[in-house]
Structure 1
Amino acid sequence: MKTSFTAEQLADPATATAAGAIRTCVHCSFCTATCPTYVLLGDELDSPRGRISLMKDMLENERVPSAVEVKHIDRCLSCLACTTTCPSGVDYMHLVDHARAYIAERYRRPLGDRMMRWMLATVLPHPRRFRLALRLAAVGRLGAPLLGKGRLAAMLAMAPTRLATPVAVPRSDASGKRVVLLRGCAEPVLKPAYQAAAARVLGRLGYAVVPAPGEACCGALVHHLGHEAEALASARRNVDAWTRVIEDGGLDAILVTASGCGTTIKDYGHLLRGDPDYAAKAARVSALAKDISELLADADLPASAAPALTVAYHGACSLQHGQKVTEAPKRLLARMGFAVRVPAEAHLCCGSAGTYNILQPAIADRLGERKAAALDRLGADVIATGNIGCAMQIGRRSAVPVVHVVELVDWAMGGPRPSVLA
């Protein structure tokens, strides 16, 4: 696609990256078939191709974004199925990230929207605040029938009726390779058993799971809200924390059990590329980041004692499209003795997408129902995924229990049965 950015505009690295992505698009329309919002809504402006045209016009002319542009860009899930499909290699992820930051800086949203986004950015990345908010949600749910089907009602509906009991993640001092296991923000509150299972598996395999004091939220949630400064601050904080571990004994991997976080951490090198104090350190951190399934799929695993279960595998968008990790989780489950099935439309998003299921509840609900139905049709004993958001989104809509891939691996290696299967 032809662009007309000025030399002055292209001096900004983010604008230059966006311009490169726009120029790469040849309007072939392959992306429309795999874009969840286009599949549901059939609107060209709700396809990657349509959004690229909107972003091009907005960024080239340095205009205040219009309400129409904001509506259609907000509807993008950032599932990145378009990047998997695109034959031209359009860097859509960094293009839409830049557009969101541009909108956050220049567009004044309605008061209710501003308040909701402020609350999400203030609460979700902080586990203590998030836990308190979930307790308050139990009270707020009493008035949910009066709220209709808006954002607040969607948020209350997603809050679990009972909070998970905190689980101490075991730290191994084994003499083998040293790894950090990302604590994160939402997962330890909603499903602490995931990281506990991962730590047990790593301990059995001889990995030393070491703490990283100062580590915090990866920054993905605020990044996708367009809060660029907050996202970069989170990235720098984590880079500092992990660099201290690297310099004090070395580090073989930074392991992630929430694939949404993994996609962002693997992108730290790009996010901090223009910061002379962090560029090299961030690139080193990104190179060390791995999804837990990536490491385990190639590990020397012991003989499995897995029960004879059929597993419906849901590939989180952040894993299959964002990180291009598609086969490792399925291969891992098969190695452990499980029969693995994959649903139709496996490429389509479940509608969770960070805070999307709160900010765009109507679309998210349709996608969630569609995904749960596709998984249920497989007739599996259990659904396995690698991302907390997907687990919560699908778990609310399917009668089949949902677990993390690593919980099944832990069980097959002699660990406890996942609680949802008890």
Structure 2
Amino acid sequence: MDVKKIAVIGAGAMGNGIAQAGLMAGYTVAMHDVEQRFIDRGVNTIKDSLAKFVGKGKITAEQNDEMLKRLLPTTDLRAAVNDADLVIEAVFEDLTLKKKIFTDLDAFAPERTILASNTSSMSITEIASSTKRPGKVVGMHFFNPAVLLKLVEVIYAKQSTDEAIQTTYDVAKKMNKVPVIVKKDSPGFIYNRVNAPTALLLQLLLDKGSPTPAQFDAAFKALMPMTPFELLDYVGLDIVLHTQDYYSKTLSKDYSPRKALRDLVAAGTLGKKTGKGLYDWSAGRPTIDTSNPTTEYDFTHMVALQVNEATKCLEEGVTNDPKDIDLAIANGGGGMGPFTLAQSIGYDKLVARCNELADKFGIETFRPTKTMQEGRIKV
């Protein structure tokens, strides 16, 4: 299907970013939200972002004006979707809310229209069940900031047609993204699933109290632009709690949120968004003391958990190509893919790291898989 008009539902950070990506790819984009003030904020964010592109010489002032003419902001859901070829839902991660929206989208959008959810981890199949067109419901998961980050996960629900997936994939390509097809609707899809056990390790360390976040991050500061605990703060500790709780219900009880994380969230100490979390964000970025790095953990512990979870994605049929996993990880957050790293570090060492962590914390999720132990995957 030739997509000409996209409707984005939700004008928040993800929604306005996706809308802008659509405008820059040449699409007409309707952007919907429930209140005018949310619409106004989203439109102003797009205008400010496009102005920066003009200032950097990446687009002309004329192109900027032409893009904004193709932006159709509205609080009327029926008007937003009644002639759309593709609808992308980008509201808060609440399954009940999403299902209600998809029921409305199904009623208001033409029969030909593909309905996509930007959910980061929820079941596309469950969302599709609220419509009478499950074959035309897919996942289209962008990463924040959606204008800049390249990865888009295109996810099959149980009944998604190949045509709906291909059309969505082609739109992502036209947006200058790197789409990766997720063949099985599974919690966390690829990128967030591969990173789930590293977040579990971090919340276990928080609960243990040693090493401290600063001591742990000091060992990683020279290796990555944003260190592990700093990244939790950046994402938001409430989001981390919500996601780990979701995985505890869908993947393993090992992910159950521990007391230290629950206490921080209950106190409203959520990270960057509140100015303070594990670190103080009042100066923009936290200053991490690198004078006392932990010697108990290093980069290979984190890589081991990622590689192990990536092998589970292969064993479960989330994808059948290890290259797609590496492509997703490299384009969702930068850096190298887990299997590329495994080849350079060595599977034997990574298997030993997984067993070490499984024994230390009593967490079977960390135990190496059969595929991991065989160590034959090359990319």
Give the TM-score of the pair, scaled to structure 1: 0.27
Report 1 or 2 for greater relative contact order, CA contacts < 8 Å, sequence distance ≥ 6. Answer: 1
